[in-house]
Structures are given as structure tokens and as C-alpha cells.
């Protein structure tokens, strides 16, 4: 298990090496030359793989598309992006392709009057399976897995669902009971669970076999603010770098290893309210990444065998 970072890919390999990271998730795949519908993607991918190997950096997953593929306006392009990402992952020997599962968002009349209500996401599991299972079968033929991130996409990191059906463990359970595809799983992020007041380690014990990739991000729940202003107040829930929040990383790593987790811990930056790059002032993002790296390596680095 290596400690890595989310990265845009080839252009950031020198930066990864400078900070001492040995793993990365290739994010923004849908914006990369490899995702372009025309042209040969192989020269770019071959160069990327060669440069990563030369620096001793492992690509643990491809972050293909973090939008809403179940929105009819996005479905065709999202399907093409995931198909290409699966093909590229198989070519590179990357085990996992990740993104959001998406959601069908429809309104129904409020019988009591007033504004219309959103129909429950569970009403649309047939549509979710119809989109994802064919892709999962294509991926399985190439020994690739599909992992869904559990971010609700609500405002202020609060437990308010927006366009991600699979932001809550109850929905994970429904999906895994409904699908026959064993290569459909989770890109697990404890911060999104903590911001929903869910105990992260308990979800590893229950769903560990389905955790294919991990976003290492922490969270801090400001209890006095919560008790004074309620859960929808800004600042009640903050995302933070590991080591600066309230997650128990020793227990997380222990539970992941017990569950047979076979990938890396890739730190997701950008969100910490202090340790991030601001328009003015010191460059703090790298400092936050190093704090997170040191925190996680206390528990994960000794498990590395190659």
C-alpha cells in the first residue's frame, strides 16, 4: 500500500517526485489527450506510463469522469469516456477506473401543494444498472474494475444529496444486492461519510470487499457550531488533509488491510480551508500534502512490498 496523491497526470510527475509520492490517481482523464474521440491515444499513454515508471510512481486508478452520466444530456459522452478509460486502463495495467455513478433527477407533484419534490433515487436503479452493467462487463473482460466515489455533491460538504446516487451506504447495499457484476465497487472517501455523521471504519467492515480505491481525505465536524446553528450552517463540516481532521487513520488502514484492500491511499487535496493555495499569500497546498503523507505513512508505508 503506497501513499499517493490525486494528479492531472503526465504534466505533474516531476511535482509528485519532488514531494516523494510513489503513487497517483490520474484525474481529469476526460480532459486529457487520451480521452479525445479522434486520433491515436496510445503514443500519449505510452509516454505517460514510461515517465511514471521511470520516476517510480504507480498509477493506482484512472479518475475518468466526475459528473452525472445518468443525465440524458451527458449519457452518450460519459459512456464513451468510460469505455475509453477502460481500454486505457487495460493497456496500462491499471486495475481501476473511477467516477460518479450519477443520478436520474426528476420532480413529482407535491400532493400537499407547494414546490415539487425530487423523486427518490432508489426509484431509478433500473436506469443506473442499465447504464453501468454493460460497462462493467466490458471492463471485466479486460480485468478492470469500476469504482464509484461516495461524494454527495451537496453544498459546503454537508450531508445533502445532489446528483450522486451512491453517496450513502444504504444505496451501496441496494446496488450490490441488485447487480451481478462483481467488479462494481467503491472509491471510498471517509470525509464524505464523516460529513454525513457516518462512522467510516464501520463501512469498511461491512463493504471492504467492494472497496477498490481510496481517496485519503479527512474531515472536521465543529460540534459547538453544529449544536448552535444546525447542520446546514457553513463551517459545521470541513474537509481537511489527513492528520488535520478527526478520522482515525490507524483504524482505517488496519480495517482496509483486514478486508484485503489491494490498492493505494491517494490524498485528495484542494479542500482544506487553510492548507491550500490561495490567490494571495504563501503556497500551502504542498505543505498540507506533506502533513498528510507523513500521517498516512506511519501506518501504510511498512505494508509496501514492491
Q: What percent of the chain has pLDDT over 70?
A: 92
- Asked if 163 and 71 count as a contact pair (C-beta separation under 8 A), the reply is yes
pLDDT of residue 146: 98
pLDDT of residue 305: 56
* C-alpha span between 34 and 76 (Å, rounded): 17
- Asked if 102 and 153 count as a contact pair (C-beta separation under 8 A), the reply is no
Given a cut of 60, whether residue 282 has pLDDT beyond it is: no
- Cα distances from 123 to residues 82, 102, 166, in angstroms, run 24, 14, 13
Domain holding 215: CATH number? 3.20.20.150
Q: Which residue has the cell 500521517?
A: 295
Which grid coordinates belong to 203? 463501512
**Confidence tier at 157 by pLDDT (50, 70, 90):** low
pTM of the predicted model as reported, rounded to 2 decimal places: 0.93
What tens digit of pLDDT does each residue of 211-240 get? Answer: 999 999 999 999 999 999 998 888 999 999
Query: Total structural domains in the chain?
Result: 1
Burial of 49-85, coded b for 16+ CB within 10 Å and e otherwise, reads beebeeeebbbbbbbbbbbbbbeeeeeeebbebbbbb
Given a cut of 80, whether residue 161 has pLDDT beyond it is: no
pLDDT of residue 123: 85
Provide the domain limits for residue 298. Answer: 3-106+115-303
What tens digit of pLDDT does each residue of 57-86 get? Answer: 999 999 999 999 999 999 999 999 999 999
Q: What does the mean pLDDT of the chain come to?
A: 92
What lies within 8 Å, CB to CB, of 149 at 6+ separation is: 66, 98, 99, 100, 164, 186, 187, 189, 192, 215
What tens digit of pLDDT does each residue of 87-120 get? Answer: 999 999 999 999 999 999 887 766 666 666 678 8
Given a cut of 60, whether residue 30 has pLDDT beyond it is: yes
pLDDT of residue 279: 63
Given a cut of 80, whether residue 27 has pLDDT beyond it is: yes
Give the highest mean pLDDT range of 107-111, 186-190, 299-303.
186-190
pLDDT of residue 144: 98
Amino acid at each position: 500500500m503506497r501513499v499517493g496523491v490525486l494528479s492531472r497526470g503526465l504534466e505533474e510527475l516531476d511535482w509528485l517526485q519532488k514531494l516523494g509520492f510513489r503513487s497517483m490517481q490520474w484525474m481529469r482523464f476526460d480532459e486529457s489527450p487520451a480521452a479525445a474521440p479522434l486520433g491515436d491515444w496510445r503514443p500519449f499513454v505510452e509516454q505517460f506510463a514510461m515517465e511514471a515508471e521511470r520516476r517510480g510512481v504507480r498509477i493506482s486508478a484512472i479518475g475518468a469522469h466526475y459528473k452525472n452520466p445518468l443525465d440524458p444530456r451527458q449519457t452518450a459522452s460519459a459512456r464513451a469516456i468510460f469505455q475509453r478509460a477502460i481500454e486505457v486502463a487495460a493497456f496500462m495495467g491499471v486495475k481501476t477506473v473511477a467516477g460518479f455513478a450519477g443520478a436520474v433527477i426528476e420532480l413529482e407533484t407535491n400532493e400537499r401543494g407547494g414546490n415539487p419534490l425530487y423523486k427518490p433515487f432508489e426509484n431509478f436503479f433500473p436506469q443506473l444498472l442499465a447504464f453501468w452493467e454493460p460497462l462493467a462487463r466490458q471492463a471485466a473482460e479486460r480485468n478492470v474494475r469500476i469504482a464509484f466515489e461516495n461524494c454527495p455533491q451537496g453544498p459546503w460538504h454537508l450531508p445533502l444529496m445532489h446528483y450522486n446516487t451512491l453517496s450513502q451506504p444504504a444505496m451501496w447495499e441496494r446496488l450490490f444486492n441488485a447487480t451481478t457484476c462483481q467488479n462494481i465497487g467503491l472509491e471510498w472517501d471517509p470525509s464524505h461519510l464523516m460529513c454525513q455523521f457516518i462512522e467510516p471504519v464501520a463501512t469498511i467492515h461491512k463493504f471492504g470487499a467492494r472497496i477498490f480505491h481510496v481517496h485519503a481525505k479527512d474531515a472536521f465536524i465543529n460540534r459547538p457550531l453544529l449544536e448552535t446553528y444546525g447542520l446546514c450552517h457553513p463551517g459545521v463540516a470541513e474537509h481537511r488533509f489527513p492528520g488535520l481532521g478527526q478520522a482515525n487513520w490507524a483504524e482505517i488502514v488496519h480495517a482496509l488491510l483486514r478486508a484485503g484492500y489491494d490498492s493505494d491511499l491517494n490524498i485528495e487535496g484542494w479542500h482544506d480551508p487553510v492548507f491550500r493555495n490561495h490567490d494571495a499569500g504563501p503556497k500551502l497546498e504542498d505543505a498540507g500534502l506533506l502533513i498528510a503523507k507523513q500521517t498516512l505513512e506511519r501506518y501504510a508505508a511498512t505494508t509496501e512490498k514492491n
